[in-house]
Structure 1
Amino acid sequence: MKKSKLLGVAALATALLSGTVGLCSGCSKTSDEGASLPFTWQNTNLYFVITDRFYNGDKSNDNSYGRPYKDSAGYTAGTFHGGDFKGLTQKLDYIRSLGVNAIWVSSPVEQAHGWVGGGPMGMYQYYAYHGYYGLDFTSIDANMGTVEEFRTFVNEAHKRGIRVLIDVVMNHSAYATLKDMCDLKFGETANGVDPCAEWMPNASAGETFHNRPVDARSYPSWDRWWGKDWIIFDAYGEPCGAEDGLDKCLAYLPDFKNTNPNANKVSLPQFLLDKWKTPNPKYDIPAAIPYRQGQMSVAQFQAHWIASWVEEFGIDGYRADTVKYVSKESWKLLKEYSVAALNKWREKNKGKDPAADWTDPFYMTGELWAFTTDPEDKSGFAKDGGFDSLIDFYFNPDGVNLNTCIMPDQSDWEKYGKLYGRLEGKVPLGNLTYISSHDTSLCRKKNMAKAALNFLLLPGSVQIFYGDETSRVNDMGGGIDMEQGIRSDMNFPKDVDNAKEWAANVATLSKEFSKDNEILAVWQKIGQFRLRNPAVGAGYQEKLSDGSYCRMFKDKAKGIDNAVVIHVGDAKQVEVGKCFSDGTKLQDAYSLKYYTVKDGKVEGDFNFAALLEIKR
């Protein structure tokens, strides 16, 4: 439905309430890819993928750097499983069918080549499949794919209207592993152990994989690693344990000295300079090459390295790891560099990628452990740290446990609507709510259809953890570690090859969904409803006399004027007069039927839910 951008304020408000205004000026309503669908970060439906555990699109890269599928103890709990960017690209239609408008992928930077001890008992070899053990921030990890494969993934996501976020780890480097010490010639081993040889713990002597023979005392050979100017590490005279706070080591991970972005300039680590002497265009990030030289503070090097991914690929945002362990000043520096990098990429890629024409600001969300809500930014993470939102831990706050989540309900809709809903504008600091997490547990309730309804329609932004929609199980890491089981391999439905059809009409009204998995079909319907309607997550909410919810949102700059009515439960009629005027043609995204408003209501046979929007 076309509308003019020249509507007066009063006429605009009247049109909004009557339902005569549709989505947005100039927006495609029939595109099967959806790059021009209305979008606001306040209505994000984000899909979080651990790339390695999603889908294997190229088996030739599975054993990069000598990484095995099965470790030397015979386990796969902590190894790389083969997922890569080719696999993600192949499954983008599936992801789009969930109504997803943003995807967060685990950090794509080159990770530690080797292993550390895994599990409380050190039973297995634990590799960096999750992306949190960065080694070279200017190169892509070969297990994930090549520079051009990542570029293709981002471009194909953009064609479908999906924004791409990468996980960012500024707090710490990887542990020192034997394989890295062998490959990059730094550090010392205990008892003269050859770092290039396979090492197995001596069980009779009480050893486990936690006892890998890395000698972290002060030896000149450690200076070839990051060095004392870069990190806190035992060999540099500053013990690195399990501590909490800025300039402290989290879980024994070497802590980058990046608290002050204007600190003294440092030289680049010798192991990286030696590595970079042999360029590898297949994996080196072109935009990062200029920052493989010179001197600047640790935080400045890191911010340039990370922002170069934005400049090279058009990354739309970050999920920042361990936010409270890095200073707000350093986060803000990263945001500043990244905003400039995105503007540079957009200018360069006009006509090559639809995202070059997007005007959405660069987005940064972050993990602040135990955070819930702070819409007015009393904590200063938006003002002083550059964050647009923080992850909301409320519905799954515990450590590694089975099914300890709290399921949202309508009372939470009312609470979150008051916190985050706006008719216009936005709150200073948004949220990103999840029910499952890679660090806590998988939320698996008896009625996962109801979970989809209550969670996906929660005001504010939401984050699906891959497999929430298919009830992916905790496989206990092959039976030995519950934490690794949270990150089990993705369980696609049997009819996943039909994903292109499922995603073909998300901009209008899809009528094709998974037939193999009825619960998945519910997640698809509700997610697509949210995708088409910014008011679901961003809008002002009013509860109507029959218990229905009217949500309304407008953004004059983007020409967005949107209203929806949501009703939960069975009904013969639904009140809609607050959002839609008599005679307005509506569609129900759940039943896939059409209705006409009469006397402020629509009549029909509504089962489970009614998701009412303007007919498209």
Structure 2
Amino acid sequence: MPVAVPGSFADNPIVYFVVTDRFLNGNPANDHAYGRQRDGEQDIGTFHGGDLKGLTQKLREGYFRALGVNALWITAPYEQIHGWTVGGQKEFKHYAYHGYYALDYTVLDRNMGTPEELREMVDEAHAQGIRVLFDVVMNHPGYLDLQTARDLGLKVLWPGAEQATLRDQHSYIDYNNFAFGDWWGRDWVRADLPGYLPGGRDDLTMQVAYLPDFRTDHPAPVKLPKFLRDKADTRATDLPGTSVRGYLVHWLTQWVREYGIDGFRADTVKHVEPDAWRELKAAGVKALAEWKRENPSRKIDDAPFWMVGEYWGHGARRSELHGAGFDAMLDFDFQQRGGQFDQPEALFAEYAQVYAGRPGFNNLAYVSSHDTTLFDRSRLFAAGTALMLAPGGVQIYYGDETGRPAGPAPKGDPQQATRSDMNWAAIDTGLLDHWRKLTRFRARHVALARGEHRQLQDRPYAFTRHDAATGDRVVVVMGVTAPLVLDVSGSFAEGETLQDAYSGRTVTVRGGKVSLPEARLVLLERWAAPAARSR
């Protein structure tokens, strides 16, 4: 059996990101919450039925455990706007299935499930050593759509609004009506509405995509918006002396305190003050520590609350944001380096220079994203190999491991193509097996994420990584097209038995070398007989 040296989660994060609504429908009874409906041929931006129950089902089936991931990042499950806005160039009804149009941060969106189903999902993940990360937004709430305005009793709609179409929906909203003050209100958000402060022109005060901009920079205490005071099912209460930022931090970290959420992926980081992220991180650390003290049998370990941020264009480097509460940032560069995946030495050497050892920060590389593009579906074997062998942290986007095809790409909103339904009925089993072997190998070896990197030879390409802190070592060979004798004397001891994690074969070091057969990929790790380990 292989000798595993996994290291800590912070040193070797393997994060699986799932758009919950597009993954698996575990409870069809919640599919039409708030009157939401599918939309026939224009079904790009509707809720498709995926929910927390579906995630729990796949956890119990062992899907994520077999894939070797140690964290599950899910789209924001708190309540979203109820209806639709115009998607793309008036091509489709765009609902908040992705979790970026928040309405009420204190309750679950009914399409996602119930509090009991959330607790069940988190507990099942924790029992398997898998952390749960929420996607969160502090920059903006959602738009005010027609259905939400009706449900909240806001008097800003013209008669006949229930008949609105994609072409004319805005004509049914009275944008000059001061009743918009009963929504979030001037003290809470910037918006081009009567009585509100308009959005600014800088990153921190602008309205991203015309969304209302939370006034997280304003220190003055505020009261709950009127719509929340009147909302029957909200858990929000007035917090005297609290600013907009303080309310948002409190609301978001209540999920940590109540359910043991292990971390956040923060959206639109560049549009919120660094001090706000520091406050969120500090509150998250406190909340998770409290939850773990109160729930010792339900925690994974005593690791602190963890945060990763999305700052558009951030790459494989340390930035000032790592000092603003973030343990990692998303690495937008890796996806663009696909031309190097077949000959990755320069890429691996560069990334090892950044992440080897314990530099005190990390980033998450990925090959596909809901915000950019899906990686070339014909090259997912190479993409999986490069990603899982890359130094640093990694993020798997749902369906990269199964060959999930892209969905429709409407004009003006091509990112919708990246959010298609998970291809459970048409999985590429060979591709999935490839990703599973790589990811489980990575999970066992912190050396891949943090080790010193050294190329052993050019053709076939071979390298070794060694993590000095743990003594963990691996050797990887790619594209062995003929039997090969490889010198591993600098990595493994004479007479040591090694296992190839890809094929399952074992080899013995003789004269400092190992003999390898033809193979797509060889993943060498130390091996110990079960009897020897039991002694």
Query: Where does 1:261-272 land on structure 2 (aligned, <5 Å)?
Result: 263-272=219-228
Q: In structure 2, what is the equivalent of residue 563 of structure 1?
A: 473
Q: CA RMSD in A?
A: 2.4
The correspondence for 1:181, drawn from 143, 149, 155, is 149
1:342 aligned to 277, 288, 291, which one? 288
The reply on whether 1:613 has 2:525 as its aligned counterpart is yes
Correspondence list, 1:465-480, <5 A:
465-476=397-408
2:54 pairs with 1:87: yes
How far apart in 1 are the matches of 2:465 and 2:237? Answer: 47
CA contact (8 A) 1:536 1:551 kept: yes
The residue that corresponds to 1:226 in the other structure is 184
* Aligned residue number for residue 500 of structure 1: none
Q: Which residue of 2 aligns with 1:4?
A: none
Task: Render the CA deviation track for 1:343-383: whole Å, top value 9, x for unaligned.
Answer: 001001112x142xx132221111110111223x3xx1122
CA contact 2:78–2:105 (8 Å) conserved in 1: yes
State the Cα deviation string for residues 436-467 of structure 1 (Å, max 9, x = none): 11111110253322221112111111111111
Residue 68 of structure 1 and its aligned partner are, at CA, apart by 0.3
Following the alignment from structure 2 to structure 1, what is the Cα–Cα distance between the partners of residues 135 and 340? Answer: 26
2:313 alignment counterpart: 370
Provide the C-alpha distance between the structure 1 equivalents of 2:411 and 2:173, rounded to a whole number of angstroms: 28
Deviation track 1:188-229 (CA, whole Å, cap 9, x = no partner) reads 12xx2255x24225xxxxx355x352222251x222111100
Match of 2:452 among 537, 540, 544: 540
CA deviation after TM superposition for structure 1 residue 162, in Å: 1.3
Contact kept, 8 Å, 1:42 with 1:538, in 2: the verdict is yes
The match for 2:175 is: 216
Shift of 1:312: 1.1
Contact 2:292 2:302 in 1 (8 A): no
Q: C-alpha distance in 1, partners of 2:207/2:474?
A: 48
Partner deviation per Cα, 1:50-86 (whole Å, 9 max, x = no partner):
0000000000000000000226xx5211100000011
Q: Letter of the aligned partner of 2:172 in structure 1?
A: P
Instruction: Report the alpha carbon displacement of residue 254 of structure 1 after superposing the two structures with TM.
Output: 0.1
Q: Report deviation, 1:585.
A: 2.1
Q: Which amino acid aligns with 1:273?
A: R
Where does residue 329 of structure 2 map in the other structure?
Answer: 390
Q: 1:187 to 1:460 in 2, by over 3 A?
A: farther
Which of 197, 200, 205 is the matching residue for 1:247? Answer: 205
Q: Distance in 1 between matches of 2:294 and 2:471?
A: 31
RCO (CA 8 Å, sep 6+): is it higher in 1 or 2?
A: 1
The SS at the match of 1:438 is coil
CA separation in 2, counterparts of 1:550 and 1:94?
29
Q: Per-residue CA shift, 1:139-162, capped at 9, x if unaligned?
A: 111101111101111111112221
One-letter amino acid of the structure 2 residue matched with residue 564 of structure 1 = V
User: Are the aligned partners of 1:109 and 1:136 in contact in 2 as well (CA < 8 Å)?
Assistant: yes
Task: Give the alignment of 1:395-544 within 5 angstroms.
Answer: 395-396=334-335, 406=339, 408=341, 409-422=344-357, 426-476=358-408, 482-492=414-424, 517-544=429-456
Matched residues in 1 for 2:135 and 2:371: separation? 14
How far apart in 1 are the matches of 2:503 and 2:75?
36
Query: What is the letter of the counterpart of residue 503 of structure 2?
Result: S
Verify the 8 A CA contact 2:136 2:267 in the aligned structure 1: yes
The CA distance in 1 between the partners of 2:76 and 2:339, in whole Å, is: 28
Are 2:106 and 2:236, in contact at CA under 8 Å, matched by a contact in 1? no
Aligned-residue offset at 1:554: 5.3
Distance in 1, matches of 2:142 and 2:256, equals 22
**Which residue of structure 1 aligns with residue 230 of structure 2?**
274
Cα distance, 1:236 vs structure 2: 4.5
Conservation of the 8 A alpha-carbon contact between 1:395 and 1:407: no
Q: Scaled by the length of structure 1, what TM-score is found?
A: 0.80
Q: Is the 8 A contact 2:316 2:351 kept in 1?
A: no
Return the offset for 1:241. Answer: 6.6
Partner Cα distance (1:243, 1:76) in 2 = 34
- 1:194 and 1:270 mapped to 2: Cα distance? 25
Q: In 2, are the aligned partners of 1:474 and 1:482 still within 8 Å (CA)?
A: no
Distance 1:518 1:173 in 2: 42
Q: Distance in 1 between matches of 2:259 and 2:354?
A: 34
* Alignment match, 2:493: 581
Task: Indicate the percent of aligned positions where both proteins have the same amino acid.
Answer: 40
Q: Name 1:128's counterpart in structure 2.
A: 96
Measure, in 2, the Cα distance between the counterparts of 1:330 and 1:137.
17
